[in-house]
Amino acid sequence: MATDTDSLFQPKEAFRRTAHVKSLEEYQRLYRQSLEAPDAFWGEQARQLTWFHPPESIREVNEQAADFAWFVGGKLNVTVNCVDRHAKARPDKAAILWAKNTPGEYETITFRDLAHHVNRLANVLKAHGVRKGDRVIVYLPMIPELVYSLLACARIGAVHSVVFAGFSADSLRERVLDSGAKVVITANEGPRGPKSVATKAITDEALDGLAQVTSVLVARRTPKEVPMREGRDHWLDVEAQKHRGVCPAEWMDAEDPLFILYTSGSTGKPKGVLHTTGGYLVYANTTFRYIFDTQPDDVHFCTADVGWVTGHSYLVYGPLSTGTTTVLFESTPTWPDASRLWQVVDDLKATTLYTAPTALRSLIKEGDSFVTKSSRKSLRLLGSVGEPINPEVWRWFHDVVGEGRCPVVDTWWQTETGGILIAPLPGATPAKPGSATLPFFGVEPVLVDEEGRKLEGNGVSGNLCLARSWPGQARTLYGHHSRFVETYYARFLPLYFTGDGCRRDEDGYYWITGRVDDVLNVSGHRLGTAEVESALVAHEAVAEAAVVGFPHDLKGTGVCAFVTVKPDFLRTPDEKMVGSLREQVRHVIGPIATPDRVVLVSGLPKTRSGKILRRMLRKIAGGETENLGDASTLADPAVLDELLTKGLPPT
Ligand code: WT7
C-alpha cells in the first residue's frame, strides 16, 4: 500500500521547538541506540528517579521461564518519587485537581497536602495490620482517597489491587478471594453523573460471610449514612484523625510487587496482572515524559478511571512521578451534557488531554457546538487509548477539539505492558490517523504468522508479538505463573504474544486490527466472551450460551449472546427472558458487560464433534449472510435458517 501523503500529519512547528525529541531522525537515532545498548538507555532513564540504593544490574531476562527482573539490587520507594521529592521542591504546586461530580466544583490538593494524606493513610493501614507484601483491595469512586490509597500502600510496601467501582459484588468478591486481601478500602457511595454507585452496599454483599477480610475502611464521600458492621467497618476520616501525617517510606526492592490489577482473558476467570516497583515506575515515568512531552507547568487530564491500567500509569504514577499536576475527574463526559470535558479543560487550564475513542464517539454524536463554545486554548496535546481510533474520529479530535493546533498521540498498550509501547513522539513522528505509528524506545514489535514464522519487511499483517523485555512488563499473574507462561509465552516462545492482530504498512507504521483471541474490546474495556457465557449459564433458564462481538457505533464492539433456554422455561415470553438474561450479566459482572443483544435460539451451530462455530455466529451478528463457512460441517444444518432469521442485526 502506497503512503497516503494527504493523511500524513507533520509535527507542528510551534510544538517541536520545546519538544523533548524534535525530529524523526532524532527519534530514529535514539530508538536504534535503545535497542543496541539497552542497559545504557534504561540506566539513564532509571537515573530520573530517586533511589535509596542504585540498581546493580539493569536487567536479567529469561523468556523460557518467563522470568524478568529489572534494575536488580536497586532499592526505592514509589512515594518518595511521586510525593516526597515534589513536596520538598514545590510544596504548593497542585498535585491533584479534583473535578467533582457537580459541574463547577473543584478541589486542589497540593504536593504538601498529598504527602500529609498519604502518610496518614499509611499509618491507618499499619494500624489495621497491613504489612509489607500484604494485598489491599481498593474499591473506590474517583475521589482523592483513591489516589491516597494507592500511594499509602506503596509507602509501606503493601500491594494494591484496585477494583473498578462499576464492577459487581460477585466480581469484587472473586478479586478479594484471589488476592487474599484482609483489608478493603471503599466509600459510603460514589456520585457519578445523575446517579450514585452504592459502593459500601456492594462491598457488604461481596464480603458476606468472608472471614478473610478483617477491616473495611470507608471514605465519607457524602453525608449518606450506611450500615457499619461492628468490629470490621471503620470510617476512614475517624481513623485518619488518630494518626500523624508522617510515616517512613519502606525500602522496596526494585522487584517487589507494587500492584495487582485484574483483567479479562480468554477463560472465565479474570487474571491478576502483577507489576513490580522499579521497572514499572521507570517505564511509566519515561513513557509519560516522552509521549506526553511533559513541560514543567502541565496540567494533565486523563479521563480514564483509576480502576483501569490507564488510570494507574497515566493519571497517578506517570504524572506524579514527574511532578505533573493531574486531574481527577469524578463525573462522565456527557453529564450534564456533552460540553463537560471542555468545561473542565477550560476551568482547570488543562494542557494535555488523554481519552478514549469511545468517549469521543459519544461526543461527536451530540454535535460540534458543545466543543466550539468552549475555549480549549490551554490544550497543547491530545492522546487516545483503549482501542483503534477510527480515522474520522482522529480527524475530529485533531480538527475540532485541537483546532489543528495540537498533536494527537494514539497510544497502543495493555494492562500487561504497564505502559505505552507503540505511539508517536509528538514533536517528531508524522502521524497517520488510525495508526499508533512507531515503537517506543527499547520496544521491538514482531509480526508472526499462525505458525510463528517471523514476517520480515513492511507491508505485512500478523500476530503482534514483542521480541524483548521492557521494564514495565508484567512479571506474572498473581499466584498463577503457569497461566502467565501459557498465555503470553508458550505460543510464540521466546516472543511475548499480545493477543492483537496488526499490520505494518509500507512505511513501517503499525495498525492494530483488534484482538485475535476470545477477548472483546467493549468501549475500550476488555471482556472475555467466556466470562459473559459463564454468567449466562449460571442463570436457571439457560441451557447453553455463546457470546460474540459485533461492530458497534459507540462501543467499538458490542456484545451479542446466542442462548438456548431449558425446556421448562420455553413458555416464558421472549422479551421477559431477554430482560432477565441481560440483568443476570449486569448483576454477575457489572453494567459494562451487559449484552447489547440476546438472541434466543433453539440450537447453536455446532460441528459433529460438538464444537460451537463461533466464526459463523460472529458473522451473523455482524450482519453477514454470505461466506458463513461450510454449513455441511454442522451437526444440524437446520439451525442455520433460524440463526439467519433471528440473529442478523435489526435494520
Ligand atoms: C487492549 C488492551 C492500555 C490501556 C487500555 C486498555 C486494545 C489499547 C489501543 C490503541 C488499538 C488498542 C488492544 C489491547 N488497545 N490501546 N491505541 N489502538 N488498540 O487496556 O484493557 O489491557 O486492553 O486494548 O486490543 O490488546 P486493556
- For β-strands 325-329 and 94-99, DSSP reports them as parallel
- Is the CB of residue 308 less than 8 Å from the CB of residue 523? no
Ligand 1 and 498: CB distance under 6 A: yes
ipTM higher than the 0.85 cut: yes
Helices (H) and strands (E) in the chain, counts: 22, 30
**By alpha-carbon position, which residue is closest to atom 2 of ligand 1?**
414
- Is the CB of residue 73 less than 8 Å from the CB of residue 254? yes
* C-alpha–C-alpha distance, residues 152 and 516, integer Å: 38
Q: Which atom of ligand 1 is nearest to the CA of 420?
A: 3
pLDDT per residue as tens digits for the range 304-355? 999 999 999 999 999 999 999 999 999 999 999 999 999 999 999 999 999 9
Predicted local confidence at residue 651, as pLDDT: 81
Q: Is the pLDDT of residue 505 over 80?
A: yes
Grid cell at residue 486: 501459557
Predicted local confidence at residue 629, as pLDDT: 79
For residue 414, how far is its CA from the centre of ligand 1 (angstroms)? 5
- Is the CB of residue 137 less than 8 Å from the CB of residue 181? yes
For residue 287, how far is its CA from the centre of ligand 1 (angstroms)? 16
**By alpha-carbon position, which residue is closest to atom 8 of ligand 1?**
386
585 domain-assigned: yes
Q: Which of residues 150, 178, 210 is at a domain's end?
A: 210
Grid cell at residue 305: 478511571
* C-alpha–C-alpha distance, residues 409 and 154, integer Å: 30
Nearest to 15 by CA among 402, 540, 447: 402
DSSP state at residue 5: G
* C-alpha–C-alpha distance, residues 541 and 526, integer Å: 27
Complete DSSP assignment for 127-150: HTT--TT-EEEEE--SSHHHHHHH
- The CATH number of the domain holding residue 149 is 3.40.50.980
- The CATH number of the domain holding residue 599 is 3.30.300.30
pLDDT per residue as tens digits for the range 291-311? 999 999 999 999 999 999 999
610 domain-assigned: yes
For residue 133, how far is its CA from the centre of ligand 1 (angstroms)? 29
Instruction: Find the largest Cα–Cα distance for the chain.
Output: 73
- Containing 286, the helix (H) or strand (E) segment is helix 277-291
* C-alpha–C-alpha distance, residues 563 and 211, integer Å: 37
Ligand 1 and 291: CB distance under 6 A: no
Where residue 1 falls among pLDDT bands split at 50, 70, 90?
Answer: very low
599 domain-assigned: yes
**By alpha-carbon position, which residue is closest to atom 18 of ligand 1?**
388
- Is the CB of residue 169 less than 8 Å from the CB of residue 205? yes
Ligand 1 and 526: CB distance under 6 A: yes
Grid cell at residue 539: 442463570
Where residue 266 falls among pLDDT bands split at 50, 70, 90?
Answer: confident
- For β-strands 252-253 and 542-552, DSSP reports them as unpaired
* C-alpha–C-alpha distance, residues 98 and 470, integer Å: 32
Where residue 633 falls among pLDDT bands split at 50, 70, 90?
Answer: confident
How many Cβ atoms from other residues are within 10 Å of residue 337's Cβ? Answer: 11
Q: Is the pLDDT of residue 3 over 80?
A: no
pLDDT per residue as tens digits for the range 51-60? 999 999 999 9
**By alpha-carbon position, which residue is closest to atom 19 of ligand 1?**
387
* C-alpha–C-alpha distance, residues 563 and 569, integer Å: 12
How many folded domains does the chain comprise? 2
Q: Is the pLDDT of residue 193 over 80?
A: yes
Predicted local confidence at residue 6, as pLDDT: 56
Grid cell at residue 59: 536487567
Nearest to 468 by CA among 495, 490, 497: 495
Grid cell at residue 556: 467499538
pLDDT per residue as tens digits for the range 242-259? 999 999 999 999 999 999
Ligand 1 and 270: CB distance under 6 A: no
20 domain-assigned: no
pLDDT per residue as tens digits for the range 230-242? 999 999 999 999 9
Grid cell at residue 644: 439467519
Give the structural domain span for 626: 523-647
3-class secondary-structure state, position 562? strand
The type of residue at 483 is R
State the chain's mean pLDDT as an integer.
Answer: 96
Q: Which of residues 145, 178, 210 is at a domain's end?
A: 210
Is the bond preceding 336 in cis, omega lying within 30 degrees of 0? yes
> Average pLDDT for residues 217-228, to the nearest whole number?
98
Q: How are strands ordered across the β-sheet holding 460-466?
A: 445-448, 460-466, 496-504, 510-515
293 domain-assigned: no
Which residue has cell 482501542? Answer: 387
Q: Which atom of ligand 1 is nearest to the CA of 423?
A: 17
28 domain-assigned: no
Question: Which residue among 305, 387, 393, 510 is best mutated to probe the pocket of ligand 1, counting the most ligand atoms within 8 A of its Cβ?
Answer: 387
Complete DSSP assignment for 579-645: HHHHHHHHHHT-GGG--SEEEE-S---BBTT--B-HHHHHHHHTT--S----GGGBSSTTHHHHHHH
* C-alpha–C-alpha distance, residues 456 and 472, integer Å: 26
253 domain-assigned: no
Predicted local confidence at residue 628, as pLDDT: 87
Total residues found in the chain within this entry: 651
How many Cβ atoms from other residues are within 10 Å of residue 632's Cβ? Answer: 6
Ligand 1 and 436: CB distance under 6 A: yes
Where residue 98 falls among pLDDT bands split at 50, 70, 90?
Answer: very high
Percent pLDDT > 70 in the chain is: 99
439 domain-assigned: no
For residue 22, how far is its CA from the centre of ligand 1 (angstroms)? 27
Percent pLDDT > 90 in the chain is: 94
pLDDT per residue as tens digits for the range 375-433? 999 999 999 999 999 999 999 999 999 999 999 999 999 999 999 999 999 999 999 99
- Helix 38-46 and helix 24-36: axis angle, to 10°? 110
Q: Which of residues 188, 210, 232 is at a domain's end?
A: 210
- Helix 199-207 and helix 169-179: axis angle, to 10°? 60
Q: Is the pLDDT of residue 48 over 70?
A: yes
Predicted local confidence at residue 379, as pLDDT: 98
Ligand 1 and 512: CB distance under 6 A: yes
